[in-house]
Amino acid sequence: MNREEMLHKQYGMLKELSALPRKMVSIHGADKVADFVLHELCQPGCFNLAKAAYFVDNPDFDCFKGISGLMRTELKDDHVISWDNPESFLSYTFDLPFNKKIRAINKPSYKKQLMRDQDMADVLASDLGFGDHAFCSWDMKHDNHGLFIYEKANLIDYPIEEHLIDALSLLSFCPIS
């Protein structure tokens, strides 16, 4: 990717990411806000992720829970994130097989078992059929910990790692449901 293409990609990401908090506020109180944020982050104009899964670990309650998942191959060609009609968007994403698979995950806390983030990400990625995966983890409020496993749509795409962890922090503001 040449310098001009990289600057164009960065500008597009900045535009998408800077609009995200406003969009989140527009559906305040809606169920599963994390689904909206995850779908937005995976879009080609943002981080261009082919597959992503978001989990929250709470050692105090000994709980590791799947919150949201996206596999772009499951999406219809005319798929659009509808911030103006959250019910329609959620009814569509609720029945997607990969999202259901992620939401069904409810295990004891891996943090409480002193398991490393890398090891947990590798186990989950293998169980969930990820190919060349990467992960991010971060501390959240109330002693929760976020874990995000992802697969890029294009392996030679813009290096997103330096910006992704900051963007994922937005998921910390979404209700865990």
Q: Which of 22, 55, 25, 26 is nearest to 38 (CA)?
A: 55
* pLDDT, tens only, 75-118: 887 666 778 888 888 888 888 999 999 999 999 999 999 999 99
Domains and CATH numbers, the chain: 3-173 (3.30.450)
* pLDDT, tens only, 139-164: 999 999 999 999 988 866 666 677 89
Q: Which of 79, 72, 104, 81 is nearest to 34 (CA)?
A: 81
DSSP string, 20-56: HHHHHHHTTT-TTHHHHHHHHHHSTTTT-EEEEEEEE
Tokens (6 digits) for 50? 């082919």
What pTM does this model have?
0.93
